[in-house]
Amino acid sequence: MQADPNQVTTELIRSLALANGLNIPEDRLEIVLEQYKAFLESVALLNAFPLDREAEPATTFSLTQEDAPGQPPERR
């Protein structure tokens, strides 16, 4: 099931912000919501891209570990 950005509301933005220790003023909730929806669309694209079951993230990016041509991982 993919996330549906249209189901996200300003109420959710307020809750997520408070859970993260941020206080987003009421008059900014709507514009932050629109930006957040745009990010969710990018996330949806990433989630739809087929990845190998064992694909690991490159959380600490270092080309010295990656500079040799490798085989693309098998896709599901």
Partner 1 sequence: MKQPHGKPPVKPSQTNTPDGKQSGLKQASLKQAKTTRRGFLEISAAAVAGLTLSPLAQSSPLAASASSMTSAQAPATGSGSQGIDLPSLTLVEAAARIRQKQISPVELIQAVLDRIAALEPKVGAFITVAAEEALEASRRAEQEIQQGRYRGPLHGIPVGFKDTFYTRGIRTTAATAVLQNFVPDFDATIVRRLKEAGAIVIGKTNLPEFSFGGFTAGTNNPWDLSRNAGGSSGGSGAALAASFLLGATGGDTSGSIRNPASTCGVVGHKPTFGVVSRYGVVPISWTLDHLGPMAKRVEDCAILLKAIAGYDPNDRYSVRVPVPDYPALLRRNVRGMQLGIPPPTALADFHPDTLSAFRRAVQVMEALGAEVREVTLPPSIHVASAAQRIIRISDAATYHRQYLLTRAGLYGADNPAGAPVSRVRTTVEAGSLLTAAQYLRAQQVRKVFLREMLQLYAPLDAFLTPTMPAPAGETANPAITFRAEFNVLGFPAISVPAGFSTAPPGLPIGLQISGKPFQDAVVLALAYAYESATDWHQRQPAL
Which chain residues interact with partner 1 by CB under 8 A? 13, 16-17, 20-22, 24, 28, 31-33, 35-36, 38-39, 42-43, 45-47, 49, 51-52, 55-64, 66-73
DSSP state for residue 25 in the 8-state scheme:
-
The nearest distance, CB 73 to partner 1, in angstroms, is 6
Listed residue (35, 13, 34) closest to 24, CA to CA? 13
* Residue 63: both structure tokens together: 């080309």
The nearest distance, CB 1 to partner 1, in angstroms, is 15
The nearest distance, CB 62 to partner 1, in angstroms, is 7
Contact 48/1 with Cβ under 8 angstroms?
Answer: no
